[in-house]
Structure 1
Amino acid sequence: MKFGIIVFPGTWSDKDCKYAVSDNLGQKSKYIWHKESDLSGIDSIIIPGGFSFGDHLRVGALAQVSPIMNSIRDYVKKGFPVIGICNGFQILCEAGILPGALIRNKNLKFKCKWVNLQISNNNTIFSSETDSKKILKIPVSHGEGNFQVDPKTLNKIENSENVVFRYCDSDGKINSESNPNGSINNIAGIMNNKGNVLGMMPHPERACNSNLGSNDGNLIFQSMINHVNK
């Protein structure tokens, strides 16, 4: 299997993603510059975290008009898996590939900390290797991770079981204290209706080795690998 890791000016989690899927899980990977358009031979796409284009205008606003995004839209239509992490999630929302928007954290402060995630749907391309009762320990690192969406769209997301991860406490309870950014319904990660695109604010690539504090992020990437290798 081969991952394509998209790189924009200001991307800085690309090397972490490559370590997670290649050095750690033994899969092939390739950096793809944002001005490229060829995704042939790529089985899954990762849009990593960072500050694409310095977050000018609005987070993800400039990245979503880069040449690579048209290729990613076509790639998504063909059913290939795409995961957007942190800034990657913001870019997917700006591009209209995922609904909603990521705005400033509720307390207006940058958050860099470990969080707990409840698995709201473990029957997806990105969560099939997880146990629905397991609480994932994965870090966040963002200033604009507050996921918001209009009530009608929120109902569609919830009713379609498109929420994959929610912020929770260590016992798996959903509450405001465990929400690091004010995201509506404690949403940490959602997928599209087709189920082949995931956007999440926490960084699974930084939870891929027990020496880092957790290897729970491996479950997400391994789920993608198993899906492609079926």
Structure 2
Amino acid sequence: MARDSGMAGKVALLLWERLVLQLPARALLEGDTVTLRCRGWQDGTVTGVRFYHGDKDLGGALCGTELSLSPLQLHHSGRYRCGGWVNSGPSPWWEMSAPVTVTVTVHVPVANATITPGPPALQVHPGDPVTLRCSVQVGSAPVTFTWPHNGHQVARGPLLELGAVHVGHSGTYQCVATNQLGQDGHRVFRALSPELALEVTPQGTTGHLWNTVAVNVGRTLLYLLLLLAVIGSCRWWHRRGG
């Protein structure tokens, strides 16, 4: 029984001190940089670390217990392990980590940015609510959206909410969608939408026109009424005289 207890304690110790290959918990895009770290439980001392990609021995790490893959490419995908000498107890022993899977996602540049409502022109009245939406047909996340108004950036994000518009909102709008290859952004891709001409038409101009028409019509009717009154009076006097 004492022997069994001793063996159980040794197995538990080995499991506790085994190596772990750490991989960042995020999507890995082509062009990114990722660092694999070989660690012992409770930060146990590990020496002579070697990394393996599938059955291929990648040799010793340049930074002790870390392996940097940069820039990531599709051929970096696969199963990785690390091995090393764990220094715990009277003598170190060689330990291998469980495998971890690295999946490199192909980076797709943004393309074909569009605005809704669509170009080329949009006519509204002052006080009308206007919201423009930008989208891309293809492109790896994260995608950044910016909105130039007459060539000057006024907002960021896929939605441009102008609220109750006024004459100052008139002009040319465009959406610029961008994404980048790698965390360092050493390659940036950009897609421009067609331009949208927003025209805010003041309602006062139309109202003034109708007021002018109404005044002229009223004057004409008054003139006709006066003319008919004069003609009627002349006829009445002629009849009375006769």
For normalisation by structure 2, the TM-score amounts to 0.17
> Which of structures 1 and 2 has the larger relative contact order (alpha carbons within 8 angstroms, sep 6+)?
1
Name the structure where strand makes up a greater proportion of residues: 2
For normalisation by structure 1, the TM-score amounts to 0.18
